[in-house]
Structure 1
Amino acid sequence: MGKLVPKLYDLIMAPIEKKRFKRVRSELLSYADGHVLEIGSGTGVNFPLYQNVKSVTAVEPDETMKNRSMEKITHSKVPIEVQLAYAENLPFDDHQFDSVVVTLALCTIQDVNQALSEMRRVVTPGGQVMFFEHVKLNDSTVGKLQDLLTPVWKKVAGGCHLNRDSLTLIKEAGFEVTDVDHMYKGLFLVIKAKNP
């Protein structure tokens, strides 16, 4: 990912996190229960927001991001462990977690289909999987612009795909989508699903 994105991420995201995303994250995380796996934990923005869960195991593939997240663990009310790992190859046993949380990270995963398959493997049958993601808009003009910008954006924004159709990918992976909230004219989705 390089060193610039991890260093600037919290600073760049602070205004929108404070005004908008913190509320969205808090509400989404209130549905998590039991032993939670967080995919792509980044700088640990979610860590202080976990409430009624037994524990959180977070995976983050970027060492600089992982290191920056450690301070936020001290502000958490629940036990949190962070491991360096890729979502495409999770180092966990089958059905080990009760909930999986992915917030603004699905867009950066290279092999998203493999990652979703791994999430299904490690979450319990009936377990919850929750996403907060930006997605490609159906609007043809904006969607085409997202397609056009994505190759450059991936290089400057840690591999982020502006044009990923996350909802379709989640459904195709075999998750049972139970709720979808459209935010900011559909640019962001909050998706709740279950592992059938």
Structure 2
Amino acid sequence: MTSASFPKWYDFFMKPLEKKRFKRIRQDLIQKAYGNVLEIGSGTGINFCFYKDVDQVTATEPSEFMIQKSEPRIKQSGVPIRLVQASAENLPFEENTFDTVVATLVFCTIPNVEKAIAEMKRVCKPDGKILLFEHVRMENSFLATLQDRLTPFWKKICDGCSLNRETMSAIQSNDVSIIHTNEYYKGLFVSAEAVNKK
């Protein structure tokens, strides 16, 4: 469960990254969304301004504090956004509901990744689009070991965030076909466009 303090300083500490590199990454990724869109773990609503040519966005977020932080960005969005308090592991939607599913910097904090992926696949239409931007365990063995050692401490101060999670491998092992990826910061961050195979 997200603490009340975490959302308050999240945007402040992320601002240097979000203002430059992350803004372009998010913009390039989210412009590929279409139709009826689901965003998982929308946080403070940082993605909302990037949605353009879509029918509507349903954004899920388990933390009531994050939801409160995101409300001004909902009002500023150019597309209809409906916010639902729900966890990624238990999405309150019928199967095959969404044309596009978006998840950015969220899988690192989800307690049950396998269940969240299964839910994502369930609610996404067959051959629907899945758009991801995540930080992952790095391929460089020294840096990966450093991530492993830092993760227990990092999880305590960053609301459960796991630095060393192998998210893309988990995605691929669950019959999600990744068709394009981009790596940033020596492979620490990865964006991906994928197709939901059922």
- What range is the shorter-chain TM-score in? over 0.9
- What do residues 102-155 of structure 1 show as CA deviations (whole Å, max 9, x unaligned)? 001111100001000000000000100010001111111111111111111111
Q: Which amino acid letter does the alignment assign opposite residue 13 of structure 1?
A: M
Long gaps (5+) in structure 2: none
Distance 2:38 2:171 in 1: 17
Does structure 1 residue 126 correspond to structure 2 residue 133?
A: no
- What do residues 63-87 of structure 1 show as CA deviations (whole Å, max 9, x unaligned)? 1001110110111110001111000
TM-score where L is the length of structure 2 = 0.97
Give secondary structure in 2 for the equivalent of 1:108: coil
Distance 2:29 2:20 in 1: 16
Q: CA deviation at 1:101?
A: 0.3
- What do residues 43-67 of structure 1 show as CA deviations (whole Å, max 9, x unaligned)? 0000111010000000001110011
Q: Which amino acid letter does the alignment assign opposite residue 188 of structure 2?
A: L
Does structure 1 residue 6 correspond to structure 2 residue 15?
A: no
Distance 1:55 1:158 in 2: 29
Q: Which amino acid letter does the alignment assign opposite residue 88 of structure 2?
A: A
Q: CA deviation at 1:26?
A: 0.6
Q: CA deviation at 1:167?
A: 1.0
Give secondary structure in 1 for the equivalent of 2:139: coil
Identity %: 48
Distance 1:175 1:190 in 2: 14
Give secondary structure in 2 for the equivalent of 1:101: strand
Report matched runs for 1:35-184 at 5 Å.
35-184=36-185
Structure 1: which 4+ aligned runs deviate by more than 2 Å? none
Deviates more, 1:33-42 or 1:10-19: 10-19
Long gaps (5+) in structure 1: none
- What do residues 12-40 of structure 1 show as CA deviations (whole Å, max 9, x unaligned)? 11111011111110110010000100000
Give secondary structure in 1 for the equivalent of 2:108: helix
Instruction: Give 2:194's aligned residue.
Output: 193
Instruction: Give 1:19's aligned residue.
Output: 20
Q: Which amino acid letter does the alignment assign opposite residue 108 of structure 2?
A: C
Give secondary structure in 2 for the equivalent of 1:130: strand
